[in-house]
Chain A
Amino acid sequence: MRPVLVVAAGEWRWWLRSRLALAGALLVVGLLLAATWVTALGMQAERAERLHHQVEAEAAFRAQPDRHPHRMVHYGHYVFRTPAPLAALDPGLDPVTGQSIFLEGHRQNTAMFAATAASADLGRADTLSPALVYQWFGPLLMILLGHGLFAREREAATLGALMAQGVPGTVLVAGKALALLSAAVLLLLPLALGTMLAVAQGERPAAAGALVATYGLYLACWGALSLLVSALLRRRAAVLAALVTLWVVLALVLPAVAVSAAARIAPMPGKIETDLVMLAELRRLGDGHNANDPAFARLREDLLARHGVQRAEDLPVNLRGVVAQFAESRLTVTLNRHADAQRAAEARQAAVLARAGWFTPLVAVAEASRAIAGTDLAHHHRFLQQAEALRYGFVQGLNRVHAEQLAYADDIRRSSDSAAERRTRVDAANWQLLARFRFEPDVPVARIGRAVPPWLMLVAWLATLAAAAVWAGRRLAP
């Protein structure tokens, strides 16, 4: 163990004397701190604002005066997706997905107002989060520190001297790897600090730890790659040029190529296209506003027969409300079927992209990071599903009020008779049926579970590269 430590210490001494290594480290750490500061403040402001809007929207709904319940179905409600605490480190999909949805009867609306659409556009790389700094520039620092591990000793002719003293190649590899690993651990400190802040805001320590581990694994991959190339090529300049080329390919080109490929391999219809198919189906289901629609004739007959009456006016319940309930439930089955299919198509496309993690660790780490931070596609989909559950809940609650608390005779005359219209206004106390909505991230176990496949990819990368580095160390030549 001692020789390994000596080698590692030697490397650190060299780095501390190298202006290149220091300047690089300073730049990356500076970027990290700045990105952490700015992103944390930004997401905190977003969280506060959306929470505020959510509370306001709930208060506005509950404070509506007495009125016809169906008016409340169309008055509708807004829900907001509040970002998770770890989103301060990896905002993930938050800026590219809509943050709020308008919920109303008979429709499932899309999430509106994505931050990117309103922001100044300064090119593809104009948003820096701590996660992106780690994903893009962490590797560069590993390369900067690691490219000279063997090559510089070769150029200074110290490698031959070391080996002549009987230090085996594997010990050299282990020592250099240890030095690089310790540098990676130091580089993770700003992230660890950020996760601690998130824990202070209610994040679970398990998720925080998993996030740090994810980036540790990622940096280790790049460290192993640097070690390997440094052991294989003779000149330091060639090592650095080769590693930078690999970085360009793995971190810049391949992820974008993978996106284009995913769009081709797993094309998905948009919402409007899905809606048009669905509308054709819905037309066959009938219009819930119109209790005389032939699609509801059977329901009406059954209801009349069950209560032994001839006319809808004699029913103990309001036929219109019953029809509205029935129609909404049937409609929602169809809406959900199409929304589920849409989400499945989206998830399929995302899965094709995620598979690119076998080709570049950047895609894998980004995937794992979003999953753990609670800003991945699964969370956005859950937001959409929870919003839908809330929508269905209050709409059917209002429809029940419609069926039970106002008379059919008044209801059918409310468009032409002002007195009847006034009698169809139900007590505002009913609006309390609206449930509270606060979007929370999944429990850590679920989030970490989704990070396992990309973790496996990273582990495979690391294992392959480390094995190759050990192999290269064995046949190390001065």
Chain B
Amino acid sequence: MNARPAAPGPWAALQCEAGFALRERAVWAWWLVALALSALAVAAGLAEVKQQRATIARLVQADDADRIQALQSQKDWGSAAYHVFHLTYDPPSAFAFAALGQRDHAAWKHRVRLLALEGQIHERDAGNPVLALVGRFDFAFLAAFVLPLVLIALLHDLRAAERAAGRHDLLEATAGDAAALWRLRALLRACGVLAAALLPLAVAGTLAGAGAATVLAACGLLAAYLVFWTAVCAALAAWRQAAPVILATLLALWIVLAVVVPAAARLAIDRAIPLPSGADIVMTQREAVNDAWDLPKAATMSAFVERHPQWAADAAVERPFEWKWYYAFQQVGDQKTEPLSAAYRAGRLQRDRLAGRVALVAPPALLQRAFQALAGTDLRASLAYEDRVRAFHAALREFHYPRLFRGESFDPAAAQATLPRFVPAGDRQPGM
């Protein structure tokens, strides 16, 4: 066996252990696996983000063309607003490739028009459910689920293998500080995994134009996460048991932290924070909008004027059908759904807040949530997008009301030039 210097200094010990690690083919194999998987995850993420950007670019063009077409045949603002849709979208952030998060299953594109928003905003153009069910291979998935398993494979028999080979006690006796020796070995192997995983991430982050702060934060998060798992592995590796027992125990721990705790917590949270059912939101909205046809028009208009006092003077409706009345009851429909819709939003936020707290005891969930937050692909980002759609719809209303209430004349070319345009979240489209 290898002869070891008695009680080496820390630097000499590091050199010596690094030498051992570098000579072990199994260690190299695991490092290469980590590197290859990280490169694959990052490449898959980048490809997906590129595809999403291309989709958005195509949609913006097609939507423009469609609006020009739709406006051409219209004679007044009311029917133009009925027929003209507006594209809204949430472009992926520069770091989205690392954690696709909610973008896998939530809609990041909507087309809306001036009708009641509650009837439109829940429509979802969300991609193939079969793919969403499994989820794509992205860096966050690799980091949260696979890398701990790589560490477990590398570290579980740190001492058991030496014990099985009959070297364990000799090593402890010859090392000056036995605990430091094992710590050093574990850290060296883990550092290799960390470096292998981070290299592709850093390269891709730079290529994609993600800010240095974001990439550094991601590196720090991953380092902390792997330190946690290294500590767990090293602690269990010290257990006087055969390697299979240690491996199985670590695996069980992984299952508990990565799957059981998150699943149980999700159930508990969903139970603790009930949401209004989606069906109630859309049906309430539908009933409100529909009832308006039979209600006295003054009832609708007074409910409308409460929110828009500036149109009180123009609120009289004389004919059985007028566009301003039609859009007023669309707005009133949204107003009636507001409490439910607000409760739905607040409930989702509350669930997310609790999930953030529970994640503190389930590191894999914590890491995924942290990566999604960095990438702008978490629930907050998807709610922020929803808020921007709502704000845009409100702007659309503010634009149309003066034209509808004053009965301004309609000109397709002028409308095309002046209609509000959706502005996606800022500084999110670096050159890809």
- Interface of A with B (CB < 8 Å)? 20, 23-24, 27, 31, 38, 42, 49-50, 53, 56-57, 60, 65, 67, 71, 74-76, 78, 80, 92-93, 96-100, 102, 109-114, 116-128, 136-137, 140, 144, 147-148, 235-237, 240-241, 244-245, 248, 252-253, 255-260, 262-264, 267-273, 275-277, 279-280, 283, 346, 349-350, 353, 366, 377, 380, 414-418, 421
Partner-binding segment picked from B16-24, B205-213, B277-285:
B277-285
- Does the CB pair A244–B153 fall under 8 Å? yes
Question: Can you spell out 15 A-B residue pairs with CB atoms less than 8 angstroms apart?
Answer: A53-B279, A60-B283, A78-B282, A96-B105, A120-B265, A120-B266, A122-B263, A122-B265, A125-B258, A237-B243, A248-B150, A263-B131, A276-B62, A280-B66, A349-B130
A252, A253, A262, A270: the one contacting B55 at CB < 8 Å is A270
Give the docked Cα–Cα distance between A110 and B119 (Å): 11
Nearest CB in chain B: distance from A156 CB, A: 12
Nearest CB in chain B: distance from A66 CB, A: 10
Q: Check B260 for interface membership: any CB of A closer than 8 A.
A: yes
Q: Check B319 for interface membership: any CB of A closer than 8 A.
A: yes
B62, B251, B275, B319: the one contacting A244 at CB < 8 Å is B251
Nearest CB in chain B: distance from A376 CB, A: 8
B106, B127, B266, B287: the one contacting A127 at CB < 8 Å is B266
Chain B residue contacts of A283, Cβ below 8 A: 69-70, 73
Number of residue pairs spanning A and B whose beta carbons lie under 8 angstroms apart: 277
Interface residues of B in 103-138 (CB under 8 A from A): 105-106, 109-111, 119, 122-137
Give the docked Cα–Cα distance between A349 and B127 (Å): 11
- The answer to whether A123 and B364 touch (CB under 8 A), given A102-B119, A259-B136, A260-B47, is yes
Interface size bracket, B side: 35 or more
Give the docked Cα–Cα distance between A200 and B304 (Å): 53
Nearest CB in chain B: distance from A87 CB, A: 13
Chain A residue contacts of B372, Cβ below 8 A: 121
User: Could you tell me the dominant secondary structure of chain A's interface residues?
Assistant: helix
Give the docked Cα–Cα distance between A60 and B286 (Å): 11
- Does the CB pair B255–A253 fall under 8 Å? no
- Does the CB pair A147–B348 fall under 8 Å? no
Chain A residue contacts of B282, Cβ below 8 A: 78, 100, 102, 112
Give the docked Cα–Cα distance between A273 and B51 (Å): 13
Among residues of B, the one whose C-beta sits closest to the C-beta of A293 is: B73
- Does the CB pair A272–B320 fall under 8 Å? no
- The answer to whether A248 and B258 touch (CB under 8 A), given A123-B364, A124-B135, is no
Give the docked Cα–Cα distance between A240 and B164 (Å): 15
- Does the CB pair B263–A127 fall under 8 Å? yes
Nearest CB in chain B: distance from A33 CB, A: 13
Chain A residue contacts of B132, Cβ below 8 A: 96, 116
Give the docked Cα–Cα distance between A371 and B40 (Å): 30
- Does the CB pair A122–B355 fall under 8 Å? yes
Q: Check B267 for interface membership: any CB of A closer than 8 A.
A: yes
Q: Check B406 for interface membership: any CB of A closer than 8 A.
A: no
Give the docked Cα–Cα distance between A27 and B372 (Å): 31
Among residues of B, the one whose C-beta sits closest to the C-beta of A21 is: B248
Chain B residue contacts of A100, Cβ below 8 A: 278-279, 282
Give the docked Cα–Cα distance between A284 and B87 (Å): 22
B89-113 contact mask (Cβ, 8 Å, vs A): 1 or 0: 0000000000001100110011100
Give the docked Cα–Cα distance between A158 and B267 (Å): 48
